[in-house]
Amino acid sequence: MRLSLVGLCVFSAVSGVSSTERAPAPAAAAHPPALNHVYVVLDAATYAAMRDSRALLEPLGRPDGGLPDYAPPRPDADRIFFRGRQTYLEFFAPDNRFKEPVGKVGLALGHDDADDFDTLETVWARTCGEQKRRTRVEWRRTRPPVPWYDALQCDGTAGGSNLAVWAMAYRPEFLRWQSGTTSDPSSRTARADVLAPRLQAGQGRFDVTGVAIDVSPSLHAKLVAQLEQAGFAREDTSTGTRLRGDDWDLVLRAVDQPAGIVSISLDADPPLMEPLPLGSAHLAQHPAGGMQLRFAVQAED
């Protein structure tokens, strides 16, 4: 059975208003986050299929093994990346060096504008209190280390064993280092700028437009509340709660059964022509347009 997603906690301050008063709801961020990337820890068969499939090259482009050179993954690589135009996919092998369990999902929200990212920090400080954490992350396999991105999280939602949600914004120093123009005064931090060179390397052919996850009813309520504060627009539908971000949607379905990732929707050029089985996953055209990667990731004993 699939791994259950752990409950996430949203923290609120206790105000001193009287019983006849109601504290005003905290203002949500005006601009919702985009998606930076999504990761999934796969079972062995699905990971091997993703890594080795030649049919995936047409819609998604070639995979890579990560920084510093985005080279093709080695045969023993424990994670692979598919780079899109503004977003990307990261898939972990079951026996990965990070000890991430099969079935775990990571959602990295993204902001291209530093001011929007700072606003989100203010909102999450109200939402999460002392659980809010901002961290400067460096690429440390070069000397001196290069500022890579700023990460923002609420500890109660970022540290779960089966689901991690956080936000990030690239540092301009990273783009200058990546392009080899360290003297360039540019302050670019856009996801598209980071990924632009991948188009010339046989990548950059798609973007993630949606993610669907089954969650417990209690987790559903808590996570929806936190993301509404981040600026997502909520729409309750027959298939779950749709949270509309910047150019992508997150659908959360409240279920009593074991929970886990359901699907990832993609806009690809060129589109997939024939359905493609990939271990316990399946990539096919979606009736509403684009492609959808559907999962049945199994936990391994």
Q: Would you call the peptide bond into 75 cis, given omega within 30 degrees of 0 as the criterion?
A: no
Q: Is 44 helix (H, G, I), strand (E, B) or coil?
A: helix
pLDDT of residue 183: 67
E strands in 66-117: 79-83, 88-92, 105-110
pLDDT value at 164 more than 80: yes
Q: In terms of Cα–Cα distance, which of 267, 264, 261, 258 is closest to 289? A: 267
Helices (H), the chain: 44-52, 57-60, 114-128, 155-158, 172-179, 191-199, 217-229
**Distance, CA of 199 to CA of 34 (rounded, Å):** 20
Find the Cα–Cα–Cα–Cα dihedral 50, 53, 54, 58, rounded to 10°: -40
Summary mean pLDDT of the chain: 87
pLDDT of residue 23: 45
**Distance, CA of 210 to CA of 250 (rounded, Å):** 6
Q: What is the mean pLDDT of residues 157-181?
A: 88
Taking CA atoms, 28 is separated from 116, 232, 293, in Å, by 12, 9, 31
Query: pTM to 2 decimals?
Result: 0.88
Phi and psi dihedrals of 114, rounded to 5?
Answer: -65, -35
Instruction: Report which DSSP code applies to 190.
Output: -
Where residue 256 falls among pLDDT bands split at 50, 70, 90? Answer: confident
Sign of the torsion formed by the C-alpha atoms of 134, 145, 99 and 63 = positive
Q: Would you call the peptide bond into 32 cis, given omega within 30 degrees of 0 as the criterion?
A: no
Q: Using an 8 Å Cβ cutoff, are 209 and 263 in contact?
A: no
- How many CA atoms are closer than 13 Å to the CA of 83, on its beta-carbon side? 23
Residue-wise pLDDT for 40-85, tens only, equals: 999 999 999 999 999 999 999 999 999 999 999 999 999 999 999 9
pLDDT of residue 162: 76
Element (H, E) at 71: none
pLDDT value at 6 more than 60: no
